[in-house]
Amino acid sequence: MGTTYEQQAISQFRQLSSVVPTQLTRRQLEVLALLCEGLQNKQIARRLNIAGATVKIHVANILRTLNVSNRLGRQPAPPREIQ
């Protein structure tokens, strides 16, 4: 099993994937399903027999369609001050 961060990301993608599946293409839904399994872009590319750059484009389009800025499905945290 993955780290807590990975588990949280997977959980949030699963929630998002049930919200707007009709706005995604069939291939984007396939990529999203593999993201929900916790696979990385290279692993998704191998599984779907497509280029890694193609996966990256699909992921970017999925994030844009779901209106999120990263794989966690939320805005990134502001930088912390170093003391």
Three-state SS at 66: coil
Distance CA 61, CA 40 (A): 16
Any long-range contacts for 16-23 (C-beta under 8 Å, 24+ apart)? 16/66, 16/68, 16/73, 19/66, 20/65, 20/66, 23/65
Q: Which of residues 45 and 68 earns the better pLDDT score?
A: 45
List the structure tokens of 61.
């389009």
What pLDDT is stored for residue 29 in this prediction? 85
Fold exhibited by the domain 25-74: Arc Repressor Mutant, subunit A (1.10.10)
The pLDDT assigned to 67 comes to: 81
pLDDT tens profile 28-66: 988 988 888 889 999 999 999 999 999 999 999 988 888
> Which residue do the tokens 């999120």 mark?
68
pLDDT of the residue at 81: 58
**Cα gap 66→72, rounded to integer Å:** 11
State the average pLDDT over residues 1-27: 66
Segment 12-24 shows an average pLDDT of: 66
Distance, in Å, from the CA atom of 34 to the CA atom of 40, rounded to the nearest integer, reads: 8
**Residue range 6-20: average pLDDT?**
64
Tell me: pLDDT of 79 over 80.
Answer: no
